[in-house]
Structure 1
């Protein structure tokens, strides 16, 4: 299955499919090849693991024979069709405020890339930081992000917004001329310490065309709800629910639980850490409670319970249960029966 990490919105995944289709690829075949159910992509709030998005980039470029496809993304799709994040940006009064919302709600579109805005004098930078270890083709991710951002800024303002300089945190590619075509007249620097797009700060004051202040709160509320779903405060409870649902004779892995929560592994670990628990602690809590529940019933042998709870061997269950309670499963069951008879 590869590394399970952060996720991308189904809308963003669909944009890549749309671009590949315009270059002759069959989107259904691409989905089948990378292991994504097309039905999932019909839900605008669904999430796709970034490892599958990376596989999609690789396969789409192979099938189309277009190594520049990530660079072309902003030209081949409607950059304002990115779902609720685009709607929030469309109804901000200025480009600067739209970029501020882009940075705040970035995780809705893609958890694996952090977007940070920085103002220094008369220059404004948009810094991209890769946060997912599932991103194995950083040049595809970073170049497509800036391609879409540039197109979105132009569509939002009706102006030819252009960077003064763009620094890429990967080596100079063979297709440098394609970068010059897409991002010209910006100065391009490859092999930089970080990936950064630098604008004249004057652009931040550019009004957004057709912004409707009355619609802004509606879309921002939806965006905030989606963001909170990714950072659910009662996450421990939801994780335990998923562990119980998956407890069918095999130990539920962190990756599988993260997938069911539409969340990346590292994101889930981070949010659990913020609440003061680890996945292993939650798994142990669920197993202990289920073990005690099953031992109070006469229908399951201790061997049956061990396998039901996903332990590889009954002996491992016996040792673990004694560590939890101070008693072996058999002794605990006998104590329970004795207390009932008394």
Structure 2
């Protein structure tokens, strides 16, 4: 049976730190909370979760409002392992940097479901390479989040090692932002954009370094605690509709996925898929419409893709079909929606009827 796709969520405590950072730079906290779908009281809740796409939208808003492509790098420079609660302490008390990197991958799920980290010691010109695996998305917010993930990982690696080392290189799959001053100052190494993968290479000697906060007794304590939290997280029920949304989002560029394809990706039968979706009050057709609608708004609001490119990414046969579907969802043409979003007037959220609209 193939593995289920990830539930794309992030801890509200992590989102709260991003919001606090943006507020410290003058952006209205209330607007940021509303964009994330959070309350002020949830900002420190490690157990609370919001959609990753909501935090991506916050990041896109922050960078646009501040007119600062370096915002995610400045945020990362202020981050410490202690800010990550148990996930941070189980890493910082390790007895070697190699063990710390392994634990980052194992316990990142306590903070967010989507990124996975892999230590590759075989393919990057003889140097160890920390690779970030994140489901590909095409929005400004997703690109900013990738830069933030890599910078935070490096910041914490430096803290753990007790050495302000420079990577050998840092690579990104997306195109370079217009201003790289903050990136160059923080990473202090060659930066490669539009590369095959996201990550950074570093000197092999760092793998065996003993972290400055190494403590075998505390490490064992936090390891047991983190394992318990990880098991609880894994035991939480995963809604079939959430899993189906992730599958649909990854397959749309190849056209609208059929029930048989989605069921096969989830390791179930079409009949079981339909039954579970019906029990959760939805259908695959509704899910396809919801994913297309949400992704279209993200791309129109945050990205520079043309309408033709967006139609292709969403699996429509042509721009006209996409435009008709989008007008049914939002009451606007795609061009009008983009114009309003770029003009600083946030379009109202879709009504309950529109959220369930299909595109057929």
- Band of TM-score, shorter chain: 0.5 to 0.7
Which residue of structure 2 aligns with residue 53 of structure 1? 55
Which residue of structure 2 aligns with residue 14 of structure 1? 16
Deviation at 1:139, TM superposition (A): 2.2
Among residues 201, 225, 235, which one is paired with 2:204 in the alignment? 201
In structure 1, distance between residues paired with 2:128 and 2:164:
16
In structure 1, distance between residues paired with 2:73 and 2:182:
8
Which residue of structure 2 aligns with residue 229 of structure 1? 232
Deviation at 1:285, TM superposition (A): 6.8
Alignment map for 1:261-340 (pairs within 5 Å): 265-266=245-246, 273=266, 279-283=273-277
Deviation at 1:102, TM superposition (A): 0.4
**1:199-249 residue CA offsets vs partner (Å, 9 max, x unmatched):** 1111111111122211223322332233333432x837xx5xxxxxxxxxx
In structure 2, distance between residues paired with 1:71 and 1:13:
15
In the alignment, structure 1 segments of 5+ residues that lack a partner are 240-252, 259-263, 288-342
Among residues 35, 57, 80, which one is paired with 2:37 in the alignment? 35
Which residue of structure 2 aligns with residue 131 of structure 1? 135
1:166 match: secondary structure: strand
Which residue of structure 2 aligns with residue 189 of structure 1? 192
TM-score scaled by length of structure 1: 0.66
In the alignment, structure 2 segments of 5+ residues that lack a partner are 1-5, 248-261, 282-360
- Distance of aligned partners of 1:105 and 1:265 in 2 relative to their CA distance in 1, 3 Å threshold: farther
2:16–2:44 CA contact under 8 A, matched in 1: no
1:50–1:135 CA contact under 8 A, matched in 2: no
Among residues 23, 26, 36, which one is paired with 2:25 in the alignment? 23
1:5–1:265 CA contact under 8 A, matched in 2: no
1:5–1:132 CA contact under 8 A, matched in 2: no
2:13–2:42 CA contact under 8 A, matched in 1: no
Deviation at 1:163, TM superposition (A): 0.6
**1:14-50 residue CA offsets vs partner (Å, 9 max, x unmatched):** 2212321332223333102332222233321221111
RMSD value over aligned CA atoms? 3.3
Q: Does 1:157 align with 2:144?
A: no
2:56–2:142 CA contact under 8 A, matched in 1: no
In structure 1, distance between residues paired with 2:44 and 2:129:
35
In structure 2, distance between residues paired with 1:28 and 1:254:
30
In structure 2, distance between residues paired with 1:78 and 1:18:
15
- Distance of aligned partners of 1:286 and 1:154 in 2 relative to their CA distance in 1, 3 Å threshold: closer
Higher alpha-carbon Rg? 1
Which residue of structure 2 aligns with residue 76 of structure 1? 78
Which residue of structure 2 aligns with residue 85 of structure 1? 87
Structure 1 ranges of 4+ moved more than 6 A: none
2:114–2:134 CA contact under 8 A, matched in 1: yes
1:89–1:98 CA contact under 8 A, matched in 2: yes
Deviation at 1:284, TM superposition (A): 5.2
Aligned length: 261
In structure 1, distance between residues paired with 2:92 and 2:22:
26
Deviation at 1:125, TM superposition (A): 0.5
Deviation at 1:132, TM superposition (A): 6.1
Which residue of structure 1 aligns with residue 353 of structure 2? none
1:85–1:105 CA contact under 8 A, matched in 2: yes
In structure 2, distance between residues paired with 1:209 and 1:83:
18
- Distance of aligned partners of 1:84 and 1:132 in 2 relative to their CA distance in 1, 3 Å threshold: farther
1:15–1:77 CA contact under 8 A, matched in 2: no
Deviation at 1:276, TM superposition (A): 7.9
Deviation at 1:192, TM superposition (A): 0.6
Say which is worse superposed, 61-70 or 140-149, in terms of deviation.
61-70
Q: Does 1:254 align with 2:241?
A: yes
Q: Does 1:179 align with 2:159?
A: no
**1:56-91 residue CA offsets vs partner (Å, 9 max, x unmatched):** 102222333322111112213334311211011011
